[in-house]
Amino acid sequence: MPFGNTLAEMLKRIKKAQIENRLKYGEFYQKDPEHDYVCKKENGEHCTQSVIKYNTRKISEKLNLSFNYHSLRHTHATTLIENGTPVKTVQKRLGHSRAAVTEDRYVHLTEKMARDAANIFDSFAQDI
Protein backbone atom coordinates (compact mmCIF):
# COMPACT_ATOMS: atom_id res chain seq x y z
CA MET A 1 0.00 0.00 0.00
CA PRO A 2 1.52 3.35 -0.97
CA PHE A 3 2.17 6.00 1.66
CA GLY A 4 3.51 9.54 1.60
CA ASN A 5 6.83 11.15 2.39
CA THR A 6 5.75 12.36 5.84
CA LEU A 7 5.05 8.82 7.03
CA ALA A 8 8.22 7.56 5.34
CA GLU A 9 10.28 10.12 7.27
CA MET A 10 8.56 9.20 10.55
CA LEU A 11 9.28 5.52 9.96
CA LYS A 12 12.94 6.29 9.20
CA ARG A 13 13.27 8.21 12.50
CA ILE A 14 11.63 5.35 14.40
CA LYS A 15 13.94 2.81 12.73
CA LYS A 16 16.98 4.95 13.59
CA ALA A 17 15.88 5.15 17.24
CA GLN A 18 15.39 1.37 17.31
CA ILE A 19 18.92 0.82 15.99
CA GLU A 20 20.27 3.21 18.65
CA ASN A 21 18.30 1.36 21.34
CA ARG A 22 19.63 -1.99 20.09
CA LEU A 23 23.17 -0.66 20.59
CA LYS A 24 22.28 0.85 23.98
CA TYR A 25 20.69 -2.34 25.35
CA GLY A 26 23.16 -4.71 23.71
CA GLU A 27 22.52 -8.34 24.58
CA PHE A 28 19.46 -7.34 26.62
CA TYR A 29 17.64 -5.94 23.58
CA GLN A 30 14.64 -8.12 22.77
CA LYS A 31 14.98 -9.32 19.18
CA ASP A 32 12.15 -11.04 17.33
CA PRO A 33 13.76 -12.88 14.38
CA GLU A 34 10.37 -13.44 12.71
CA HIS A 35 8.96 -9.89 12.93
CA ASP A 36 10.34 -6.39 12.72
CA TYR A 37 7.44 -4.42 14.20
CA VAL A 38 7.31 -0.64 14.21
CA CYS A 39 5.64 -0.46 17.62
CA LYS A 40 8.31 -1.59 20.06
CA LYS A 41 9.26 -0.66 23.57
CA GLU A 42 12.66 0.96 24.07
CA ASN A 43 14.17 -2.46 24.86
CA GLY A 44 12.85 -3.94 21.61
CA GLU A 45 9.99 -5.83 23.22
CA HIS A 46 6.82 -5.94 21.09
CA CYS A 47 4.11 -3.49 22.16
CA THR A 48 0.94 -5.41 22.90
CA GLN A 49 -2.51 -4.03 22.21
CA SER A 50 -2.92 -3.26 25.91
CA VAL A 51 0.27 -1.15 25.88
CA ILE A 52 -0.97 0.81 22.88
CA LYS A 53 -4.37 1.32 24.53
CA TYR A 54 -2.68 2.49 27.73
CA ASN A 55 -0.46 4.97 25.86
CA THR A 56 -3.44 6.24 23.88
CA ARG A 57 -5.38 6.81 27.10
CA LYS A 58 -2.45 8.71 28.61
CA ILE A 59 -2.13 10.90 25.50
CA SER A 60 -5.89 11.47 25.52
CA GLU A 61 -5.74 12.59 29.16
CA LYS A 62 -2.70 14.81 28.60
CA LEU A 63 -4.29 16.52 25.58
CA ASN A 64 -7.71 16.60 27.26
CA LEU A 65 -9.23 14.98 24.16
CA SER A 66 -11.66 12.12 24.30
CA PHE A 67 -10.54 9.49 21.81
CA ASN A 68 -9.36 5.92 21.62
CA TYR A 69 -6.79 4.32 19.37
CA HIS A 70 -9.35 2.76 17.02
CA SER A 71 -11.08 6.11 16.47
CA LEU A 72 -7.98 7.19 14.54
CA ARG A 73 -9.05 4.77 11.77
CA HIS A 74 -12.39 6.57 11.59
CA THR A 75 -10.63 9.94 11.45
CA HIS A 76 -8.32 8.64 8.73
CA ALA A 77 -11.22 7.37 6.60
CA THR A 78 -13.34 10.49 7.10
CA THR A 79 -10.44 12.83 6.30
CA LEU A 80 -9.68 10.96 3.08
CA ILE A 81 -13.32 11.00 1.95
CA GLU A 82 -13.72 14.65 2.98
CA ASN A 83 -10.79 15.55 0.74
CA GLY A 84 -12.07 13.72 -2.32
CA THR A 85 -10.57 10.23 -2.08
CA PRO A 86 -12.92 7.71 -3.71
CA VAL A 87 -14.66 5.36 -1.25
CA LYS A 88 -13.27 2.32 -3.07
CA THR A 89 -9.72 3.58 -2.46
CA VAL A 90 -10.43 4.14 1.25
CA GLN A 91 -12.05 0.69 1.45
CA LYS A 92 -8.90 -0.98 0.09
CA ARG A 93 -6.64 1.15 2.30
CA LEU A 94 -8.51 0.08 5.43
CA GLY A 95 -8.73 -3.55 4.29
CA HIS A 96 -12.52 -3.76 4.19
CA SER A 97 -14.21 -6.41 2.06
CA ARG A 98 -16.95 -4.02 0.90
CA ALA A 99 -17.19 -0.26 0.39
CA ALA A 100 -20.47 -0.29 2.35
CA VAL A 101 -18.54 -1.21 5.52
CA THR A 102 -16.27 1.79 4.99
CA GLU A 103 -19.15 4.18 4.33
CA ASP A 104 -21.50 2.89 7.02
CA ARG A 105 -19.05 2.43 9.90
CA TYR A 106 -16.01 4.59 9.24
CA VAL A 107 -17.01 7.70 7.35
CA HIS A 108 -18.72 10.40 9.40
CA LEU A 109 -20.39 13.55 8.13
CA THR A 110 -18.27 16.60 8.91
CA GLU A 111 -19.04 20.32 8.82
CA LYS A 112 -16.92 20.60 5.68
CA MET A 113 -18.90 17.84 3.94
CA ALA A 114 -22.21 19.43 4.93
CA ARG A 115 -21.00 22.88 3.78
CA ASP A 116 -19.66 21.46 0.49
CA ALA A 117 -23.02 19.77 -0.18
CA ALA A 118 -24.89 23.01 0.56
CA ASN A 119 -22.56 24.95 -1.76
CA ILE A 120 -22.95 22.41 -4.56
CA PHE A 121 -26.72 22.57 -4.29
CA ASP A 122 -26.62 26.37 -4.03
CA SER A 123 -24.60 26.68 -7.24
CA PHE A 124 -27.03 24.31 -8.98
CA ALA A 125 -30.08 26.20 -7.64
CA GLN A 126 -28.75 29.51 -8.97
CA ASP A 127 -29.08 28.13 -12.51
CA ILE A 128 -32.79 27.36 -12.11
pLDDT one-digit tens code per residue, 53-105 = 999 999 999 999 888 888 889 999 999 999 999 999 999 999 999 999 999 99
37, 49 contact by CB (below 8 A): no
How does DSSP classify residue 34? T
18-58 pLDDT tens trace: 999 999 999 999 988 888 888 899 999 999 889 989 999 99
99, 107 contact by CB (below 8 A): no
Whether residue 108 is predicted with pLDDT greater than 90 in this model: the reply is no
Q: Domains of the chain: which residue ranges?
A: 1-47, 68-128
Q: What global pTM score does this model have?
A: 0.71
> How far from 110 is each of 25, 82, 107, 120, 124, CA to CA, in Å?
46, 8, 9, 15, 21
Whether residue 123 is predicted with pLDDT greater than 80 in this model: the reply is yes
Which pLDDT value is given to residue 36?
84
